[in-house]
Structure 1
């Protein structure tokens, strides 16, 4: 595995994330070149994985951010990456296969399992650079990505995980609640299953039709920006990905999860994935600490105060606690 630089598809040349800043508090807006993350690529199985980074060799720990099925790495850095970097942590937001600026190899059809393996391998890459402790943060579906990676990676690779939500899509109630239409989430999935096991597994379906994407955030004008962005909420997923996402089995089930502490940062005004949808994952976990912090006034992708500040403070305190470090 090696780095590739000099690619010509970068957030630097994209306007969607820039427009989204208009809906954020002024303190979070990236208004100068000095505020921007550096952009790089890491090669994984012939895919060019985009990394949106606030590198800091002096930071005592690293935080790796993961988007969900309606966001991307730059959108992670807008609301939590830059604030954590300002606190003194090294931060990398990863664009997974099919999202953001990541370039999928021609003809490549991937499933959710490849998402988990890619991040697991990226952790190994980070460990090859140095042995600083790592905390994972995931927004929306990214929360469960963080859980699945922690369960899959070698022991000691992850010191803590933070999720905005933790959604086990194997749970029928969770799957139906997060889908746009009950019919497509139930009867329609028979067709998805058949296609996912056929030569048409690469056929794509808009995520805005598969999921309740209209509830991604609580600002109607911001939603227009999200849905017009083909690198985030306006994206489409393959039949293989949708089937794999719904049926993925973790290496460690919640009742047996003993890898690392967990922080659940739940937006109080989340109209897509309210608190009760994370309970099937988090309630059975008894072998490690699980802490809940409610983000006041905040939507699923939080644009609102005081939730944004509460999230920043909670994640910063959690990273200090689980890594035993202080920038």
Structure 2
């Protein structure tokens, strides 16, 4: 992924401050209420973390962004409110996103994303033995599944996704890509280029995907599309190829790692509910729940969906970590 000049701290970034103006006042952060920022070294990369530490918390919730968001945007809608409810929360910036510093000369793949989270969970478990639930927004939802399928048994007590999309499914590609040509011709082309030196070339995620549907508020979209650490990011050919073709360690019919919760925005114009059904309908060995978030868009800025999401996740974590 392309190296860009990014601030070392979200204290020095204006994008999230502008975005939070579209959130209810109760969710807006100040310098005093913002999460603690940390860096975790992983295979030569410096991974940025937003953490609300709470040694007294009985459970941790790890938050993961999608391909148009970042960890600070997860802290806004979930990290801070769940911390107020008594959970320790930590939001990751995965390779190429947010303020994470990618090792010079490397071209991370989606497989690296999965491995990073698996290793991060192991690192968290080495600190203490509190149970962990993993949340993912957008593409991060399926990542929670991929991580749970690959991680050692018992790593996670549950996974929560805002969507669970299998990009190997042509129907999913058709509806979530920028256009039909990209959906049908783009993936085979990326597969060919990924086997050449062109694998490290970068492409705007906004041209690969239906990024225009990230938020339902047009003014919020303008803020997001100026942010090179989230919606305006570029990703490598290698990442796009591996993202579109990733094969999980365990397919849904055999998945039995932990319970699953889908928190589906009801007004999602990018990844509507029916696109998650092919994955979730085949998971039968563990409980699968769905909660619809009224009036909420793909990146939810709207009530009552925000409160419904926070309530549902808090309840899910409490029940599955008791």
Give the C-alpha shift of residue 53 in structure 1. 0.6
Aligned pair partner of 1:262 in 260, 263, 269: 260
1:140, 1:188 → 2: CA distance? 20
Structure 1 residue 216 corresponds to structure 2 residue 219 = no
Aligned pair partner of 1:246 in 244, 247, 254: 244
Equivalent residues in 2 for 1:218-233, closer than 5 Å: 218-233=216-231
Match of 1:179 in 2: 177
CA displacement, residues 188-232 of structure 1 (integer Å, 9 cap, x when unaligned): 323211111111101000000000000001000000111100000
Structure 1 residue 299 corresponds to structure 2 residue 297 = yes
Structure 1 residue 167 corresponds to structure 2 residue 173 = no
For the 8 Å contact 2:47–2:100, the answer to whether it is kept is yes
Q: Runs (4+) of structure 1 moved beyond 4 Å?
A: none
Alignment coverage as a number of residue pairs: 317
1:273, 1:187 → 2: CA distance? 20
Distance change (3 Å), C-alpha of 1:8 and 1:171 = closer
1:296, 1:186 → 2: CA distance? 32
Match of 1:20 in 2: 19
Match of 1:317 in 2: 315
1:190, 1:16 → 2: CA distance? 34
2:183, 2:200 → 1: CA distance? 19
Structure 1 residue 129 corresponds to structure 2 residue 131 = no
Equivalent residues in 2 for 1:71-110, closer than 5 Å: 71-110=69-108
2:242, 2:109 → 1: CA distance? 6
2:248, 2:304 → 1: CA distance? 34
2:20, 2:63 → 1: CA distance? 18
1:240, 1:8 → 2: CA distance? 25
Structure 1 residue 189 corresponds to structure 2 residue 187 = yes
1:288, 1:74 → 2: CA distance? 31
Structure 2: stretches of 5+ with no match in the other structure: 1-5
Match of 1:118 in 2: 116
Q: Which moved more, 1:181-190 or 1:285-294?
A: 181-190
1:187, 1:212 → 2: CA distance? 16
Match of 2:147 in 1: 149
Equivalent residues in 2 for 1:25-40, closer than 5 Å: 25-30=24-29, 32-40=30-38
**SS, match of residue 199 in structure 2:** coil
Give the C-alpha shift of residue 315 in structure 1. 0.2
Pairwise CA RMSD: 0.9
2:174, 2:45 → 1: CA distance? 32
**SS, match of residue 148 in structure 2:** helix
Give the C-alpha shift of residue 8 in structure 1. 6.2
Structure 1: stretches of 5+ with no match in the other structure: 1-6
Give the C-alpha shift of residue 34 in structure 1. 2.5
Match of 1:4 in 2: none
For the 8 Å contact 2:109–2:242, the answer to whether it is kept is yes
Give the C-alpha shift of residue 163 in structure 1. 0.4
1:132, 1:196 → 2: CA distance? 40
For the 8 Å contact 2:187–2:244, the answer to whether it is kept is no
Match of 2:42 in 1: 44
CA displacement, residues 14-66 of structure 1 (integer Å, 9 cap, x when unaligned): 00000001100001001x33311000000000000000110111101100000
